[in-house]
Amino acid sequence: MPPCHSDQMTYAKPFRVGVVVEAPQHTGLLGPLDYLCDQDLPPGTIVRVPFGRRVVTGVVWDQGGSDEASQALSDEQLKPVAEVLTGLPPLPASWRQLVQFAAGYYQRSLGEMTLMVLPPELRQLDDTQWGRRLKRLDKDVAKGVAAADAAPALPELTEQQAQALQTLAGPVDKPFLLWGSTGSGKTEVYLRQAQKALDEGRQVLMMVPEINLTPQLESRVAERFAGRRIVSLHSGLTPAQRLRNWLLAHTGHADLVLGTRLSVFTPMPRLGLIVVDEEHDPSYKQQDGARYSARDLAVYRAKSEKVAVVLGSATPSLETWYNALPPADGGPGRYVRLAMPARVGDGIMPTVRVLDLTRTPKPQGGQTPPPLALELLKAIEQRVERGEQSLVLLNRRGYAPVLHCSDCGWKSGCPHCSAWRVFHKVDRTLRCHHCGFTERVPRACPDCGNQDIAPMGRGTERLEEQLAEVLPNARVGRIDADVTKHKGALEEQLASVHAGEVDVLVGTQMVAKGHDFRRITLVAAVNPDAALFASDFRAAERQFALLMQAAGRAGRDAQVAAQSEMWVQTYHPTHPLYACLRRYDYAEFASQQLKEREMAGLPPYAS
């Protein structure tokens, strides 16, 4: 990194450049700050500039947008650029436009947005480190990618896939919604469309909700596009890997980027297609710091770069669904809807069994109730005997949602927020799942000293324990965010499920997503009612998507499809959500929800 110049006053006519830096909110800094440089730096150049007492990374921005106070300063009052990051093409205009839009739309300062979406390492490297990174990148590029052994065997397209692809081959003036059941072959459509873009010399951005939950997609992409350079971008990479992959994409050397929400900001000079798989998934929304919806930004980006964007889902978000409703159905027709209702190869969805909890016998005095309704337990037992697997879903991790003192009524609240702290038995802690505040379980009630404080309710940890007790012949396993905290633990646990070493798998929504479990013939949602009456108006929508996705985990193998079942334990068996689920009728569910939202003046009718 050569210095921009060594001494401020040694050249005749310095150039003023506007540089975006990350300024704390309270400074109220909105636009770029002017700096001096002995060369006119093109917008998008990454530089290091003095800011306060530090030297920070910044990006040269387009002319004319600088902060007013900064514009008013004379050249003599400006500070010089400290260093220019050479050897890197400037961040393109389309990238700056995307970041500028995101900053405005989500009400963050331009600097905060800009620096947040750059690889973290880029902000910290010094001269020599930067030089080393570039050298390593050159080596990587020079090495090339191993050529493919042979062309991969492509399945013959189903009629629905062929139709979808035909529409995709048409004009790209609108985003596409690929609405296809689980197992309808959406991924195959993405891959074909990606192949087309790659053949035309374009780059492809393929977005997925959480990369570690979809290892199969990664290997499918790698297999299909052997000979192409594929990079992934997600928060699980080391900073060095993330910078490397980002640089490969930005320099145009990577052909396909497979990434999570943060990848929507990857500069790609030859971008030709954006795919957003499971577009309804909440993890496309960044919740901390600068908030954004990567799905919405993907739509914006596709429009501004005039490339196609395909949003895929079996249960689209209601906003997307509404946008894709044709005018004939009372919608705005902003997106083009491609429907693939059938599963490939006559695959059928499991039979839905709605189990009415109001009619299950109450336990007699003093008896502990069974962890699941007896009918459901029996169905699971049968699976265990036949050597089939069951998946039991409970969207609440930990042992029990709250500890309780029966003497004085104390409950394990969080002192920092309004949530209860969850009891985790493994390490005997009370943990707040909202703010993270964690403490050892107190020996006695902190309010009255009673030694007899007890768990109330049930989380996955306790359900696992209870099921192991009542199903002595079953090997019970668990997958949730607690089990998979440690690197590699999720992969290990998934492998043992695939290897058939687990008969009954207890899990949170984590296991409902994307896994191709071949031997699961029963999926049970143990406590799905909570979402029906939640204050968050999107809760029902999310729950429906989750249940549909969960059902898709069962009967994936044609040999067991016919005996596959999706169980729902509920106190509200006649609720319309379950009626729609019985028929896997997303369209009907969406239409009911839209009616409710319209009457209540909620999105997508109001924002």
Minimum separation from the CB atom of position 406 to Zn ion (A) = 8
Minimum separation from the CB atom of position 448 to Zn ion (A) = 3
Identify which of residues 372 and 405 has a Cβ nearer to Zn ion in the complex. 405
Minimum separation from the CB atom of position 567 to ligand ADP (A) = 22
Is residue 57 a contact partner of residue 115, using CB atoms and an 8 Å limit?
yes
Minimum separation from the CB atom of position 298 to ligand ADP (A) = 18
In sequence order, what are the residues at sequence separation of 6 or more whose Cβ sits closer than 8 angstroms to the Cβ of residue 209?
260, 261, 277, 278, 281, 283, 284, 513
Q: Choose one: 83-91, 180-188, 412-420, 596-604; the region binding ligand ADP (CB under 6 A).
A: 180-188
Does 267 engage in binding with ligand ADP (CB under 6 A)? no
Determine the 3-state secondary structure of 604 from DSSP. coil
**Which position among 31, 175, 185, 259 is part of the footprint of ligand ADP (CB under 6 A)?**
185
Minimum separation from the CB atom of position 445 to Zn ion (A) = 3
Does 403 engage in binding with Zn ion (CB under 5 A)? no
Minimum separation from the CB atom of position 459 to Zn ion (A) = 16
Does 279 engage in binding with ligand ADP (CB under 6 A)? no
The binder of 414, among ligand ADP, Zn ion, none, by C-beta within 5 to 8 A per type, is Zn ion
Identify which of residues 424 and 553 has a Cβ nearer to ligand ADP in the complex. 553
The binder of 394, among Zn ion, ligand ADP, none, by C-beta within 5 to 8 A per type, is none
In sequence order, what are the residues at sequence separation of 6 or more whose Cβ sits closer than 8 angstroms to the Cβ of residue 76?
none
Does 344 engage in binding with ligand ADP (CB under 6 A)? yes
Determine the 3-state secondary structure of 266 from DSSP. coil
Is residue 311 a contact partner of residue 295, using CB atoms and an 8 Å limit?
yes
Which tokens sit at 94? 């389309």
- Whether the bond between 32 and the residue before it is cis, its omega within 30 degrees of 0, is no
Does 186 engage in binding with ligand ADP (CB under 6 A)? yes
**Which position among 161, 286, 293, 317 is part of the footprint of ligand ADP (CB under 6 A)?**
161
Distance CA 196, CA 202 (A): 9
Identify which of residues 256 and 474 has a Cβ nearer to ligand ADP in the complex. 256
Identify which of residues 49 and 414 has a Cβ nearer to Zn ion in the complex. 414
Tell the burial category of 175 from Cβ atoms under 10 Å away from its Cβ (0-12, 13-18, 19+): buried
Q: Choose one: 206-214, 373-381, 400-408, 524-532; the region binding Zn ion (CB under 5 A).
A: 400-408
Distance CA 348, CA 269 (A): 42
Length of the chain: 607
Identify which of residues 190 and 292 has a Cβ nearer to ligand ADP in the complex. 190
Does 180 engage in binding with ligand ADP (CB under 6 A)? yes
Residue of 44, 31, 40, 98 whose CA lies nearest to 70: 31
**Which position among 34, 38, 121, 188 is part of the footprint of ligand ADP (CB under 6 A)?**
188
The secondary structure element, H or E, covering residue 520 is strand 520-525
Does 157 engage in binding with ligand ADP (CB under 6 A)? yes
Q: How many CB atoms lie within 10 A of CB 81?
A: 26
Which tokens sit at 487? 């690197």
Per-residue binding letters, 455-474, with ligand ADP (x by CB under 6 A): --------------------
Identify which of residues 188 and 541 has a Cβ nearer to ligand ADP in the complex. 188
Q: How many CA atoms lie within 13 A of 544 on its CB side?
A: 31
Does 432 engage in binding with Zn ion (CB under 5 A)? yes
DSSP string, 192-225: HHHHHHHHTT-EEEEE-S-GGG-HHHHHHHHHHT
The binder of 182, among ligand ADP, Zn ion, none, by C-beta within 5 to 8 A per type, is ligand ADP
Does 280 engage in binding with ligand ADP (CB under 6 A)? no
**Which position among 57, 187, 251, 315 is part of the footprint of ligand ADP (CB under 6 A)?**
187
Does 417 engage in binding with Zn ion (CB under 5 A)? yes
Does 281 engage in binding with ligand ADP (CB under 6 A)? no
In sequence order, what are the residues at sequence separation of 6 or more whose Cβ sits closer than 8 angstroms to the Cβ of residue 370?
363, 377, 470
Max Cα distance, the chain (Å):
94
**Which position among 9, 148, 154, 408 is part of the footprint of Zn ion (CB under 5 A)?**
408
Distance CA 318, CA 591 (A): 9
The binder of 157, among Zn ion, ligand ADP, none, by C-beta within 5 to 8 A per type, is ligand ADP
Does 430 engage in binding with Zn ion (CB under 5 A)? no
Distance CA 81, CA 8 (A): 9
Does 184 engage in binding with ligand ADP (CB under 6 A)? yes
Residue of 514, 289, 315, 281 whose CA lies nearest to 298: 281
Is residue 37 a contact partner of residue 5, using CB atoms and an 8 Å limit?
yes
In sequence order, what are the residues at sequence separation of 6 or more whose Cβ sits closer than 8 angstroms to the Cβ of residue 510?
213, 479, 480, 481, 484
Does 211 engage in binding with Zn ion (CB under 5 A)? no
**Which position among 81, 98, 402, 405 is part of the footprint of Zn ion (CB under 5 A)?**
405
Minimum separation from the CB atom of position 405 to Zn ion (A) = 3
Per-residue binding letters, 433-452, with Zn ion (x by CB under 5 A): -xx-x-------x-xx-x--
Identify which of residues 182 and 509 has a Cβ nearer to ligand ADP in the complex. 182
CA-based angle 131:135:137, to the nearest 5? Answer: 115
**What residue ranges bind ligand ADP (CB under 6 A)?**
155-158, 161, 180, 182-188, 344-345
**What residue ranges bind Zn ion (CB under 5 A)?**
405, 407-408, 410, 414, 416-417, 432, 434-435, 437, 445, 447-448, 450
